[in-house]
Structure 1
Amino acid sequence: MRPEAKKRSDFNHFHTITTRWMDNDAYGHVNNVVYYSWFDTVVNQFLIANDVLDIEHSNVIGLVIETQCNYFASVAFPERVTAGLRVTKLGNSSVRYEVGIFREDEESASAQGHFVHVYVDRESRRPAAIPEPMRALLQTITVTE
């Protein structure tokens, strides 16, 4: 069963992204791999902007172990998109982010998917508990369905 496109109101944090000429593929729309880059961008922007992740020095780092995306409508350069972000599962060392990609000012997602991070110790690469400041921040965008 195909999922329905989520609405902007389903998300708690937003980040505007400008499409680039190179994002388009031969078919005249943004290539599917670019969406995964946008997922990565909105997640890390949220963590870095809120001072809970220092990509060079944090003791723990998030490794992506799973991604998935459904596409509902094409996006093309030079459109502006907004990535909506929410958390749907917050474990001891893992978090499941859900992301919606919204074209221009549209209310329904053009694409949506999820992105799972497992947090690990930077040196040993063994699973590590999500630090409390990060956990507290992630709880601010956590939803239950």
Structure 2
Amino acid sequence: MSMRDAGRDQFRHFLTIPTRWMDNDIYGHVNNVVYYSYFDTAVNQFLIEAGVLDIHQGEVVGFVVDSGCSYFSPIAFPDAVHAGIRVAKLGNASVRYEIALYRNNEPLPAAAGHFVHVYVERASNRAVPIPDAVRAVLSDLIILD
């Protein structure tokens, strides 16, 4: 199934993100770069709420090394974005998230994409294995076919 046709049941976690007036561009819809902000917000809010990301003091953090987005229909202020996240691949030091952005109560995503974190030791910026606590939380986001 393509992400374009991904129903909400394909995601284990959702975060509702209100659009802001400043998100709209001159064409009257949310500008493409803002979608990446929604991805970042959904993933990191999940990790913070799960207690496995300390953005200020954590010794190991995830750095974004790859992201992409496909756009299917516009989102505009004052819509609410429902960001569904799932884990598509859980490696030794990296995780690939898939995120779908649903506009208001629409059943199919307005946009969808991916976001890859590589876990690094903050002090050295060197890749390290995903910590066990993080791996356990991420495992709950894997959708098995």
Structure 2: segments with no counterpart, 5+ residues = none
Distance 2:3 2:95 in 1: 21
Aligned to 1:26: 26
Distance 1:95 1:17 in 2: 23
- Kept after mapping to 2: 8 A contact 1:43/1:85: yes
Instruction: Note the alpha carbon deviations across 1:1-39, whole angstroms, 9 max, x for none.
Output: x86331111111000000000000000000000000000
CA pair 143-48 structure 1, distance change in 2 beyond 3 A: same
**TM, length-normalised to structure 1:** 0.96
Aligned-pair CA distance for 1:119:
0.5
CA-based RMSD of the aligned residues comes to 1.1
Aligned to 1:47: 47
| Amino-acid identity (%) | 55
**TM, length-normalised to structure 2:** 0.96
- Kept after mapping to 2: 8 A contact 1:85/1:98: yes
- Kept after mapping to 2: 8 A contact 1:39/1:83: yes
Aligned to 2:101: 101
- Kept after mapping to 1: 8 A contact 2:4/2:111: no
Structure 1: segments with no counterpart, 5+ residues = none
Runs of 4 or more above 6 Å deviation: none
